[in-house]
Structure 1
Amino acid sequence: MSRIRPSLGAREDLRQPQFHPETSFSSLLPSAHKPLFDKILIANRGEIACRVIRTAKKLGVRTVAVYSEVDSDALHVRLADEAYCIGPAPSAESYLRIDKIIEVCRQSGAQAVHPGYGFLSENAQFADRLAQEGITFIGPPASAIVSMGSKSESKNIMSAAGVPVVPGYHGTNQDPEFLQQEASRIGYPVLIKAVHGGGGKGMRVVHSTSEFRDALESAQREATKSFGNADVLVEKYIQRPRHVEVQVFADKLGGCVSLWERDCSVQRRNQKIIEEAPAPGLSSELRADLSEKAVAAAKAVDYVGAGTVEFIFDNDTSKFYFMEMNTRLQVEHPVTEMITGLDLVEWQLEVAAGNPLPLSQSAIPLVGHAFEARIYAENPRNNFLPDSGQLLYLSTPEPTHVFAPSLEAYRIPVPEGSSGFTPVHNTSAAIAPTMRLEQGFEEGAQIGVFYDPMIAKLVVHGQDRTEALRKLRTALEEYKVVGPSTNIEFLRTLAGNQAFIDAEVETGFIPKHFNELFPPVPEPSHEALAQAALFVVLRDHPAPSTPSPWTTLTSRRFAGDVYERTITLQSEEASASPSTVHIRALSNGRFDVTSHTASGSHTFANVSAHLASPTAVTASLDGALVRTTVVSQSPPANVPASSSPSTMERLHVFHGGRKTTVVLPSPEWLLSLGGDVLGAAKGALRAPMPSVVVEVRVQVGDKVEAGQAVVVLESMKTETVLRAPTGGVVKAVGCQKGEMVEEGRELVDVEPEEGDA
């Protein structure tokens, strides 16, 4: 086990302890306050590890990071005071190794462990082992993790406590035939859900009995890999649900409060993508009922620390049902911090040290509205499949705050005689919009295939929902990433969708509004094409620092002709018609630029342009001076040139709040050398992303039907089933179970039957 000490460098502002006179705990008497830990270990990685480190630094608590071999240069490693390698990249050999984490605690002298979310955060055995070693687990007791970690047991506890639950089977009989019978009894559609699951893993919606067995096997396999337990439950699937959850907090002295609710309804692949607080459209009575039920749920299991009680809210009946309790800090906790002005990680450390909750229920603010958008490395137009690769370019909006600013001054007192669970929501406070950025990666970092593909979380707060949403849209327009595919453009479209603006949210929001969220990709604008072409010309023929007749020869001909060049640019969509841009260099160092697209042409005359930086073009277009970010992305070095856009140089143009990607076609001579090796045959199945092969269901010579499952892949803890594109006979199998395959690898080739050819 190796150890490194990080060196100070960039992002110094996030490392140094900061003095905050108005902390959540300023009202506590010094004599009653137990000291915090001297040193804690964070058993996690990425943005949540960085998030915990920042609060620890603020409080003067030293931090210990752990990392896998592929994370040796990760941001959380560099932010921590100490860091220790605990194994290879696979989670099972590093971040899930309880023995190695405990060994690092002993070696470093860490007195407590913060588990973050995911990995070991809801592992009762881990909490027990730490207790046996005399190390504090910054989380609930193991008994609460067991009770609430089991979806079956937790639902039974909730029923006994008077909390409504969704109809379903929550027992221990896992016989597939019995579960299928229960599904028929409940009535389709049903939801298969891993008993020990979370984060959308081990979850499948089944619409008919013919789909049940395949869905059950897939859910169980995913549950086993993610949680080490294949048990599932089967529930009625509510057709128009909202996902509403309540943040609860409890101390070791019996105190328990609600920090109000969040709406996390908009999801893809059963995982949250954008969250907000408070949940829009709830009456004060319903908010109070939700909070009261959530606190009762926490008290029923003697809960301690931060927890989230999740409810399904039926849009058709306005009834809510207990879904599950997450016994950890949630990914989306910052939106709660923003509407309360609190630091929930600080609360965790205080409660773990044995201190009481700092605020009573009636003293917790509810001010304004907050959104969190999760920035993922994924391709929304390819069913949100995760992506990987290096962050070649990263430019983010400038955060206004590191932590949520205090809102105590804007809290409206609860009227006398009212329940503490019925806050007065202040949506008229004279507060400026604020923005936080919770990120775990910097430019140059590698987004790998072994972990969750989340890059960062963009968190905004405003006086009301309208202002917060406007701030979110602006921030997303300023967020620029080149490297792996991201969901930023999709999030911007979502934040501008009228149904979302009107708060008509439900878990089926994306499929319901699919056509609006995924309109046809527009052809590049003339402005974007002009700037891409100017970037190429200025890059290929940089302006000399001291012009002379000889240094300007690249722009001239000896007969006095002015240099002209036509640049072909095409969309990433192979079916789209290419565009051309004709650039004519004028004698005064300016340019005439004419772009031609399928829909028409446009000329920008007498354009002044120069490269302001290697990734920025400054140009005057139709009288407007614009500075545009243009980033070149070279094709993979080991892939031969072909007609596939993935083998060409890409130009990413950030203009007008949008990202336009065009490709420079490879020259004919290069195509003839490389051969069109990536031209896919009709029956070829290729890996859509770097993945691990989970299962190969066919052999050479097998006859398959169109749509038949042939290969199962796993990337970033998500399973993807590849199906035969056509009926025929398996001609070749290019992968085997357990193998790591790169994007574009041909996995199975099906020779079409004569009728399908």
Structure 2
Amino acid sequence: MAEIRRLLISNRGEIAVRIIRACFDEGIESVLACSAADTDSLAARLADRVVVIGPAAAGESYLSVERVVAAALYAECDALHPGYGFLSERPELVDACQESKITYVGPPADIMRRAGSKLGAREVAEQAGIPTGKGTPGLSSAAEARRAAEELDSFPLLLKASAGGGGRGMTIVRSLDEVEAAYGRSSTEAERAFGDGTVYFEPYVEKARHVEVQILADTQGNVCHLGERDCSTQRRYQKIIEEAPAVGLPSSLIEQIRTAAVDLARALEYVGAGTVEFLVDASTHRFIFLEVNARVQVEHPITEEITGVDIVREQLRIARGQALSFTQEDIRLSGHAIECRLNAENARAGFLPTPGTILHWTVPQGTGVRIDTYAHDGAVVAPWYDSLVAKVIVHASDRDAAVALMRRTLSRIEVDGISTTADIHAAILAHPDFAREPVTTRWVEEEFLPTWSPAAV
């Protein structure tokens, strides 16, 4: 059993604050590895110790395996937690930790490589009998992409990057004439973003729900799911609002999706926290496997709210070699939770980032309200990093009550110095389409934004 006395957190912002909180609860000393731009951040103030690993540029700090591991060794840390983003799905970091005898809080490198490759994970899913849709292997040229599209003959199709996510390298292809240009765009973007230009085709579902299942697996063979989340409210493949559990789908379908997630985790011999993502055709209720995220997700708090399970503390237990603190039979989903990602962006100006200093920050407190953030009066929203400032989370008895609570919560948030996306969240939540049931993945871009009047919010 691995002892964890001192943990290096190789991340920033709200997730660093979240991990520091879990360390406090577990009696673990927290060491923050941060850039020079984050030395006065809330995470730096809360951590037991801070190690500066480089300048503001992420490539010279948060994205440097060498600097992160050197910081862990310098601070004599037993373990390292990568959070999400940055190096969180880089098996090279796991390898480096193993070589330096540092416990990595996450999956082993070989599992991360299998799960992190969309093509590799899809192959494992197919072998496990999980629906994956009619897709292709990796494509290495525009000509090969055209031949593959001709063989599939089932437009529309979606070109996706094998090595990454976040919508990068994704292009909808609606005809054979679009294939070669789409391949060039997708492959180039994938190469720039992930260092790997491999792309592949999968079916594109016009009216789709994005449903993901939270899993936890320990080193003793226990694999459990914590229910599912609906992440269909998206813009440019980026999640805006997440909900748990998914509503408006047959219970038999939900059970199939949960079972498929656990089966895939077992087939991968998965260890740690992870998310298995699926696409559900809203018309036929057929589902296909999308990918595995081998890390903690941004939206993990809504699962914590409906299950009562502290996912980050479970990650620490698993890293120590301990069994999960619960069994599948212990998991009971309670009520409905919603998360809004509050970004420092101006939706009225095309969602342009609005970095700067927060002059005033006040958020409501109350039953069922949780704010995960690094924000405070005087906090700096740096231009070098992701624009996420806070995650606004609510938990209520049912979906209607959760929507009402979220609308009330958003209306009470006061922020000066930067613009945030609170206004567009409020408008989406007030829309009758959203009120009826969770929307599909293209609803925001194709139906909501074309008719949205920012001045009316």
TM-score of Structure 1 vs Structure 2, range by shorter chain: over 0.9
| Partner SS for 2:54 | coil
**Aligned partners of 1:382 and 1:235: how far apart in 2?**
33
- Of the structure 1 ranges 91-100 and 302-311, higher mean CA displacement relative to structure 2 is found in 91-100
SS of residue paired to 2:455: coil
Distance in 2 between residues matched to 1:115 and 1:520, nearest whole Å = 37
Q: In the alignment, what sits opposite 2:444?
A: 510
By how many angstroms is 1:161 displaced? 0.5
Normalized against structure 2, the TM-score is what? 0.95
Pick from 363, 368, 371 the counterpart of residue 335 of structure 2.
Answer: 368
Asked if 1:133 is matched to 2:67, the reply is no
Distance in 2 between residues matched to 1:275 and 1:516, nearest whole Å: 22
Contact kept, 8 Å, 2:347 with 2:421, in 1: the verdict is yes
**Among 417, 420, 437, which residue is 2:371 paired with?**
437
Deviation at 1:312, TM superposition (A): 0.3
Separation in structure 2 between the aligned mates of residue 179 and residue 386 of structure 1, nearest angstrom: 35
SS of 2:279's equivalent in the other structure is strand
Among 141, 152, 156, the residue aligned to 1:175: 141
Amino acid at match of 1:443: D
> Whose helix fraction is larger, Structure 1's or Structure 2's?
2
Q: Deviations over 1:384-411 (max 9, x none)?
A: 333322223322122x4xxxxxxxxxxx
- What's the counterpart of residue 353 of structure 2? 386
Secondary structure in 2 aligned to 1:330? coil
Letter matched to residue 86 of structure 1: I
Distance 1:264 1:73 in 2: 33
State the TM-score, normalizing by the size of structure 1.
0.58
CA contact (8 A) 1:248 1:309 kept: yes
**Highest CA radius of gyration, 1 or 2?**
1
1:99 aligned residue: 66
Aligned pair 1:320/2:254, yes or no? Answer: no
Answer yes or no: is the 8 Å Cα contact 1:494–1:517 preserved in 2. no
**CA–CA distance in 2 between the matches of 1:89 and 1:209?**
44
The more displaced of 478-487 and 95-104 is 478-487
The one-letter code matched in structure 1 to 2:149 is A
Q: Which structure 1 segments of 5+ residues have no match?
A: 1-33, 401-432, 523-657, 659-757
Q: After alignment, is 481-490 or 58-67 more displaced?
A: 481-490
Residues 139-538 of structure 1 aligned to structure 2 (within 5 Å): 139-171=106-138, 173-186=139-152, 187-209=154-176, 211-398=178-365, 400=366, 433-514=367-448, 518-519=452-453, 521-522=455-456
What's 1:83 paired with? 50
In the alignment, the residues of structure 1 paired with residue 235 and residue 60 of structure 2 have an alpha-carbon distance, to the nearest angstrom, of 29
Alpha carbons of structure 1 residues 341 and 99: separation in structure 2 relative to 1, 3 Å:
same
| Cα separation, partners in 2 of 1:132 and 1:517, compared to 1, 3 Å | farther
Q: CA deviation at 1:448?
A: 2.7
In structure 2, C-alpha distance between the alignment counterparts of 1:82 and 1:476, rounded to whole Å: 34
Following the alignment from structure 1 to structure 2, what is the Cα–Cα distance between the partners of residues 211 and 483? 44
- For 2:385 and 2:434, the matched residues in 1 are separated by 30
- Structure 1 SS opposite 2:172: strand
| Alpha carbons of structure 1 residues 217 and 391: separation in structure 2 relative to 1, 3 Å | farther
Q: Verify the 8 A CA contact 1:510 1:517 in the aligned structure 2.
A: no
- 3-state SS of 2:232 partner: coil
Contact kept, 8 Å, 1:155 with 1:170, in 2: the verdict is: no
Give, in angstroms, the shift of residue 92 of structure 1.
Answer: 1.5
Given that 2:20 and 2:30 are in contact with CA atoms closer than 8 Å, whether structure 1 keeps it comes out as: yes
Aligned residues: 456
CA–CA distance in structure 1, aligned partners of residues 107 and 435 of structure 2: 37
2:76 aligns with one of 103, 109, 113 = 109
Q: Report how far residue 154 of structure 1 moved.
A: 0.9
Q: Is the 8 A contact 1:461 1:468 kept in 2?
A: yes
Distance 1:190 1:452 in 2: 29
Using the alignment, how far apart are the partners of 1:482 and 1:202 within structure 2? 35
Q: What is the distance in 2 between the residues matched to 1:134 and 1:35?
A: 10
Q: Closer, same or farther in 2 for the Cα pair 1:152/1:347, shift >3 Å?
A: same
**Which structure exhibits the higher relative contact order, with contacts defined as CA atoms closer than 8 Å and separated by 6 or more residues?**
2
1:50 match:
17
Stretch deviating more after TM superposition (206-215 or 458-467):
206-215
The answer on whether the counterparts of 1:151 and 1:170 sit within 8 Å (CA) in structure 2 is no
Q: 1:515 to 1:53 in 2, by over 3 A?
A: closer
Shift of 1:209: 4.7
Q: Amino acid of the residue matched to residue 276 of structure 2?
A: V
| C-alpha separation in 2, matches of 1:157 and 1:249 | 18
Q: Is the 8 A contact 1:261 1:277 kept in 2?
A: yes
Report the CA distance shift for 1:128/1:505 in structure 2 as closer, same or farther (over 3 A): same
Query: Cα RMSD over matched residues?
Result: 1.8
| One-letter identity of the residue aligned with 1:68 | S
| 1:324-356 per-position Cα deviation (integer Å, ceiling 9, x unaligned) | 000000000000000001110110001110111
Q: Secondary structure at the match of 1:521?
A: helix
Question: Which runs of 5 or more structure 2 residues have no equivalent in the other structure?
Answer: none
**Cα deviations across residues 676-730 of structure 1 (Å, max 9, x unaligned)?**
xxxxxxxxxxxxxxxxxxxxxxxxxxxxxxxxxxxxxxxxxxxxxxxxxxxxxxx
Q: Contact 1:242/1:314 (CA < 8 Å) preserved in 2?
A: yes
What letter corresponds to residue 498 of structure 1 in structure 2?
A: P
Per-residue CA distance 1:91-150 (angstroms, 9 max, x = gap) = 211111111111111111111111101111111111111111111110011111111111
Q: Distance in 2 between matches of 1:190 and 1:443?
A: 47
Matches within 5 A, 1:649-668: none
Residue 59 (structure 1) aligned with residue 26 (structure 2):
yes
Residue 441 of structure 1 deviates from its aligned partner by 2.7
Tell me the distance in 1 between the aligned counterparts of 2:55 and 2:436.
47
Distance (Å, rounded) in 1 between the aligned partners of 2:354 and 2:253: 40
* Paired residues of 1:268 and 1:384 also in contact (CA < 8 A): no
